[in-house]
Amino acid sequence: MSVQGAIRSRKRDEKVKFDPNTFRDELVSGINSCSNIEEVKNYLVAQGDSMDYRRYAEQFFDIFIAGGILAPGGSVIECEKGEAEFCVFKTDGSDEQIKEYFTALNEVLQRFKYLMVSLEKEEMPKVLRFIKAFSPENMHKLATFVALLNSSDLCSSKVLEALFIEALTKDDTAEKFIAAYFQAWLRNASLSSLASSFKKNKLDKRLEELFPANKRSFEYMRERFAAYEGLDDIISWQASLRTASVKKELQQQVVAAIVEEEKESDELIEMVNAVMEENYLKPRDMVPLVFSAVFSSVSWNKKFDLMTEQALKQINKFNKFLRAYTRTQPAQVILLLRLQNYCVDSNQALMKIFDKMEMVVVLLLLFKLLLFKLLLLLLLLLLLLLLLLLLLLF
């Protein structure tokens, strides 16, 4: 092989030097030669292959978001070319303008899909850890931008795990960011989509962790979110999650109290009422819980006759417990529907005696209520008669 051939071979095998500064200078110059975000988008799509976005993904996203390469800590590294004039931090902060940047990035990512992995796994977690270094205005812009990315599934809300570090939670930094994020999401998408995204990424029950360690409670979180405009739905969503968790735990405690401690209705009512008052729950909210606890505490016999006896005995034994939370018609309907669903879904053998169980439940729950109403009606009639007699006499 000739000397010239050997030289060519060695040059071919040489690794191209990693030069983020040159990449930055070229990209910033190209962006600044554009007159609007549409031209920027076209430029970024056209230059993707020649500028090797795969290798310089981190620098690409830094420039698109902050206008330059971010140093450790979050400040933009100065350079002779200056900063990109078109970046998320240079917007006016409105949803409309930030959406333009989101749309532009979306088109770039659809053309160079490998950038999506870098965005979610590397860039967004890094940038979110830097939010303490950003101005309040830029942090708000970033929160809106991330909310748009997450709500469109261009990037998973899992990136928010970067916020759960002491440096951001020990003061109100993480709180302010997540509040702005929630506001932006709810302005542009639904609460159900947010709840679904957070549940999928196991973030829905971790919001209390965004507050200082010594203040992590639902009450404190509710108080802080109430201070921000438009977060009532977030508070309600979190309250419903807390309620579900409280109910599940209480049901387990009631079952244990029935099976292991053999507590009577009065003690069970006291236990449930304490939790109900502490968590601002209504009596009818307790109906499914109470019913499930009463019926799941039974080891059902396979023989039909004995099963019938067990069911009726259980209803009779805990009728006071059941009645305590079924004094209204809606609550009574909930109980009967729960009974029917239990027979269909959990123990189909009980369907054979469903009518009999339903009748017993109705009699036990409604008879005393009807009797009370009749007595009240009779009392009113007696009072009317007494008034008539007084009128006749005088």
Q: What is the pTM of this model?
A: 0.76
> Does 1 have pLDDT greater than 60?
no
CB atoms within 10 A of CB 225: 20
- Among 177, 206, 230, the domain-final residue is 230
Which residues, other chains included, contact 216 with Cβ-Cβ below 8 Å and sequence gap of 6+? 208, 209
Pairwise CA distance, residues 257 & 318, whole Å: 13
Same domain, 111 and 25: yes
Q: What Å distances lie between residue 94 and 98, 100, 142, 185, 344, CA to CA? A: 6, 10, 11, 13, 53
pLDDT at 322: 87
Decide if 284 is inside a domain.
yes
In this structure, is residue 257 part of a structural domain?
no
214 & 317 share domain: no
Averaged pLDDT score across all residues of the chain: 86
pLDDT digits (tens, 9 = 90+) for 163-212: 999 999 999 999 999 999 999 999 999 999 999 999 999 999 999 999 99
How is residue 162 written in tokens? 């970067």
Which CATH number belongs to the domain containing residue 76 in this structure?
A: 1.25.40
d(CA 187, CA 203): 20
Residue 217 φ/ψ region, left for φ over 0, alpha for ψ in the -120 to 50 degree band, beta for the rest: beta
Tell me, yes or no, whether 282 and 378 share the same domain: yes
Find the range with the poorest average confidence among 30-34, 221-225, 308-312, 331-335: 308-312
DSSP-derived secondary structure letter, 70:
B
Residues 205 and 309 both lie in one domain: no
Structural domain contains residue 235: no
Give residue-wise pLDDT tens across range 262-311: 899 999 999 999 998 888 788 888 989 998 898 888 887 777 677 777 87
218 and 278 belong to one structural domain: no
pLDDT of residue 125: 97
**What's the domain range around 189?**
17-230
The domain boundary, picked from 230, 259, 294, lies at 230
DSSP structure string for 108-161: HHHHSTHHHHHIIIIIHHHHHHTGGGS-HHHHHHHHHHHHHHHHTTSS-GGGGG
Domain finish residue from 176, 207, 230? 230
For the segment 67-104, what is each residue's pLDDT rounded down to a tens digit? 999 999 999 998 888 999 999 999 999 999 999 999 99
pLDDT given for residue 249 in this prediction: 92
> What's the confidence (pLDDT) of residue 13?
45
In this structure, is residue 182 part of a structural domain? Answer: yes
222, 134: one domain: yes
Buried b (16+ CB within 10 A) or exposed e, 247-283: beebbebbbebbeeeebebeebbeebeebbeebebeb
Residues 155 and 278 in one domain: no
Task: Please check whether residue 153 lies inside any domain of the structure.
Answer: yes
Asked whether residue 314 falls in the same domain as residue 190, the answer is no
**200 and 329 together in one domain:** no
Nearest to 197 by CA among 161, 153, 237, 133: 153
Rounded to whole angstroms, the Cα distance separating 326 from 364 reads: 11
Alpha carbons 376 and 87: distance in angstroms, whole number: 74
pLDDT band with cut points at 50, 70 and 90 for residue 345:
low
Of the listed ranges 15-24, 93-102, 196-205, 354-363, the one predicted with least confidence = 354-363
CA distances to 29, 216, 259, 290, 352 from 307, rounded to whole Å, are: 82, 47, 18, 20, 10
Same structural domain for residues 198 and 286?
no
Closest CA to 88 of 77, 76, 102: 102
Number of domains in the chain: 2
Inter-axis angle of helices 191-200 and 173-188, nearest 10: 130
Tell whether 244 is covered by a domain. Answer: no
Shared-domain flag, residues 305 and 208? no
